[in-house]
Every structure is written in structure tokens, then in C-alpha cells.
Amino acid sequence: MADVNRGNRPLSPHLQVYRLPIPAVASIMTRITGHALVAGIVLLVWWLVAAVSSPQAFAAADWIVRSWLGFIILTGSAWALWFHTLSGIRHLFYDAGMGLEIENAKRNSWIIIIGSVALTLLSLIIFFIG
């Protein structure tokens, strides 16, 4: 242990002053969106159970679903679902050995971020028109 390299070794990034590369941001967001989706699925399953419980239970659940709070949770969930889906598709490409180069990873990170917002807006448009 006497000749251990003390000065010239790679250091971990100092997270408070380190600007995360965009693929790292996309990777972290994948984990966060996956877990945040619990809020949306619990709200929807509660709404489904309430529909077969009683008119009062459905009125309460439906009121939340159609309130501004429900709109925020469900729109946020739609975005999280699209983000997680696009990022999951990228993982399937990664597993096939495709898109692993840094430049590609940066580009398709932006595709995931912009694409998830676009698909959420498209979902809202279809929902409110249809």
C-alpha cells in the first residue's frame, strides 16, 4: 500500500458544482418518472374502484380526477409515462448494442425530452378534442 497513487487518479464529480451531462439528466429522470407514476396509477385505480362502490364514492373520486389537482396529476403522469416509455425504448436499443456512442446518447436524450413533451401535448389535444 506504500506506493498507492494519491495525486493522479480520476476523481468523482463534485455534484454541487458539476453540470450533469444531458444523458445523465435523462437517466435520472427515467428513474424519477418511473416512481412518480405511482401517483397517477393510484388515482386512476381509486377512481375505478369508486365507480363500482357507490355514487358517493364515485362523486368524490371523479371530483378529484376532474379538478385542477387531478388535471396536474394526470397531465404530469401522461408526461412521465411518455418520458419513461421513450427512455425505456432507448434501453431496448442499448440492449441491442445500438446508440451507445456519446454523441448518439446526447442526441437521443434530447429526442426523449422534447418527444415526451410533444407526445403529452398531442395526448392532451386528442383528449380535449375527442
> Which has the closest alpha carbon to 78: 39, 23, 20, 129?
39
Smallest distance, other proteins to C-beta of residue 67, A: 12
CB-nearer residue toward other proteins: 7 or 55: 55
Q: What H or E segment, with its residue span, contains residue 78?
A: helix 68-95
Supply φ then ψ for residue 100, to 5 degrees.
-85, -15
Our CB check for other proteins shows the closer of 9 and 24 to be 24
Shortest distance, CB of residue 114 to other proteins, whole angstroms? 18
Give every CB contact of residue 123 below 8 A, 6+ residues apart in sequence: 78, 82
Residues within the interface to other proteins (CB under 8 A) = 31, 34-35, 37-38, 41-42, 44-49, 51-52, 55, 58, 62, 65-66, 74, 78, 81-82, 85, 88-89, 91-92, 95, 123, 126-127, 130
